[in-house]
Amino acid sequence: MTLIDSDGWRTGWRSADYVTAFETAFAQYTGADQAIAFNSGGTALEMILRTLRLRPGDEVISCAVNFVGPHIAVIGQGGQLVLAEPDPVTLNLDPADTERAMGPRTRAILVTHWNGATADIARFTELAARRPHPVHGPPRVIVDAARACGGRTPSGARVGAEGWATLFSFESKKLMTTLGQGGMVTTNDPALARQLEDLRTYGGREGWGTNQLLTKAQAAVGMVQLARLDDMNAARIARAHARTAALADIPELDLPPSLDESRHLYYRHNLLLPEEWAGGRRDELMNTLAARYGVGSIISDPVTYLAHGLIRHHTLGQCCPRAEQLAARLLCPCLHPQMTSTEEALIRDSIRAATADITRSRPPTS
């Protein structure tokens, strides 16, 4: 298939004007030097990892509480996945446990801005600089920002401006979308940008690649979505803060941190239940919310080695007890910035009532 650009010239497999314009706008928005569009965030991460040319034994560190996709990508690109514990407040990758997990084979640190709470990328970059690989130099800091598009990190930088590479997902449930699928990588490394551009378009003229391009229609939608991203995020933050305030007097609920300056976008509004509710009683609360009150909730996310067979087999012998304990207490009721005030009030009242139902059914023992 051949495309015709606005000047009438054949563009072949080069990005069309709409895609180039979207990439330019996204790079400017994030403060990164370059942005490279892909047909999905998952594909984008696989190609970032592919540029590392991981060999058997090369290690990539990532948080055990995570979506399974990033961990499968590490395994699929030949890396040894090394799991580390989450921070007990944000559930982002814990820098101290990351340092414990680092060794002479560490090639990359894969940091997820988990459920919209932004991690301190500068701290991981400093850690990588202190612990260089004997051949490849400092481990690459790769950032999964699929759930944090538009946020800011503790340094004040926009998500996407820090780290070696940051990937974004525009899948339909994300903070912005491009017709249901799509992705982007931002980077300040021109060599990486060139490699990614070749990988998504059949390898350029020299190497391996395939068709991973974002379409013109998706890019056009992305421009509209990017223009409204800050307003949608602000509405989501306001909704989440109001929910946190409304539930603050319920002793059984540990509520998400209310971070300022867009440092938490609340892709999910995470509730942590009492330790004695971990597992069974947490599931009972989920079922009560759904069956009695018509309110949906999910566990986002379980510990990946407990949730996925391939990851479990690949990381056999690894164990993250803090991650297991926190994930067993985790519950995420539905949240969306365009919910009506009536819908949001119903969800808050249902959480309060369902929590009381579980407490009454099995009161704490003295």
Q: What is the pLDDT of residues 287-320, one digit of tens each?
A: 999 999 999 999 999 999 999 999 999 999 999 9
pTM above 0.85, yes or no: yes
Tell me how far apart the alpha carbons of residues 28 and 31 are, in angstroms, rounded to a whole number: 5
Q: Do the bridges between strand 106-112 and strand 80-84 make them parallel or antiparallel, or are there none, so unpaired? A: unpaired
9 φ/ψ sector (left φ>0, alpha ψ -120 to 50, else beta): beta
* Residue ending a domain, choose from 224, 244, 275: 224
Whether 362 has a pLDDT exceeding 90, the answer reads no
Does residue 249 share a domain with residue 121?
A: no
Q: Could you tell me how many residues make up the chain?
A: 366
Judge if 206 and 234 occupy the same domain. Answer: no
Instruction: Answer whether residue 132 is part of any domain.
Output: yes
How high does pLDDT run on average in the chain?
94
The pLDDT-based confidence of 261 (bands split at 50, 70, 90) is confident
> Is 7 a member of any domain?
no
In a domain, 343, yes or no: yes
Domain end call among 180, 200, 224: 224
- Are both 201 and 284 inside the same structural domain? no
61 pLDDT higher than 50: yes
9 pLDDT more than 70: no
Q: Is the pLDDT of residue 112 over 80?
A: yes
Contacts of 190 (CB under 8 A, 6+ apart): 33, 34
The reply to whether 36 and 117 lie within a common domain is: yes
Q: Give the Cα separation of 297 and 45 in Å (integer).
A: 28
